[in-house]
Structure 1
């Protein structure tokens, strides 16, 4: 029996299972079991975002996500709870970026990009931290209250 893959606890790029060929096309399938450290409770996608528009500007208390550029290119900047910057590029539909809670993010879209988000919780405004100063304060304590900010 193959070893169980380690589940991530920090942001990281995850290769996604892909089948097919250049002759027939490719299929990517994502199942929570074995790949993600969360069950997918919701999915949504963002498209027709004008080129170079930057979105995000928030963090989540506990919500986890897998971000996938199903088309185009996304430049993602994260700020860790320790205040460090991390940069990721998503430009392949067979690669996802895992994000745990309490990471501030910004996403810059290139033309014709489509961002698919698989998330661990149903939508709730209370899951968001939209105020940067409040994010830094929560990150400094290492705790998240789950209270909308």
Structure 2
């Protein structure tokens, strides 16, 4: 397995291009597979989430995602079945975190945070693993 293949299997930060200047504003772009290691099939966003709420609390069998804080600050915690935990701070719209399948993830939102997610699949309830104990047991068998 080469380094690129290893990287795709691990969560990692993505820096989006930031185009513009303070006097006129900025734009960040994700085109094709130049940034995302997958074709985007679904885009969704969350907002008005109280700071005391932790969302996510699941893993996917197939879906890959890029999580972006388009406004505010979001703390993304990922966990592999082997127990390895990574914490990513998303605090500007030009930065996202890639979350591969088979990785448990949670998000903690700070005041006025807006999250946008680019996903590799359309929504399918059966793709979600929502029980933590089940997540740990499924992937230990593989």
TM-score normalised by length of structure 2:
0.92
Counterpart of 1:40 in structure 2 is 40
**SS of corresponding position for 1:33:** coil
Counterpart of 1:30 in structure 2 is 30
Counterpart of 1:93 in structure 2 is 93
1:135 aligns to 2:132 (yes or no): no
Q: Give the gaps of 5 or more residues in structure 2.
A: none
CA distance in structure 1 between the aligned counterparts of 2:36 and 2:141, rounded to whole angstroms: 27
* Deviation readout 1:49-104 (Å, 9 max, x if unpaired): 01231111111011000000000000111111211111111001000100100111
Counterpart of 2:18 in structure 1 is 18
Cα RMSD (Å): 1.2
Runs of 4+ in structure 1 off by over 4 angstroms are: none
Counterpart of 1:103 in structure 2 is 103
Aligned length: 137
TM-score normalised by length of structure 1:
0.88
Q: CA deviation at 1:141?
A: 2.1
Counterpart of 2:53 in structure 1 is 53
- Greater CA deviation, 121-130 or 52-61? 52-61
CA distance in structure 1 between the aligned counterparts of 2:95 and 2:20, rounded to whole angstroms: 15
CA distance in structure 1 between the aligned counterparts of 2:35 and 2:29, rounded to whole angstroms: 11
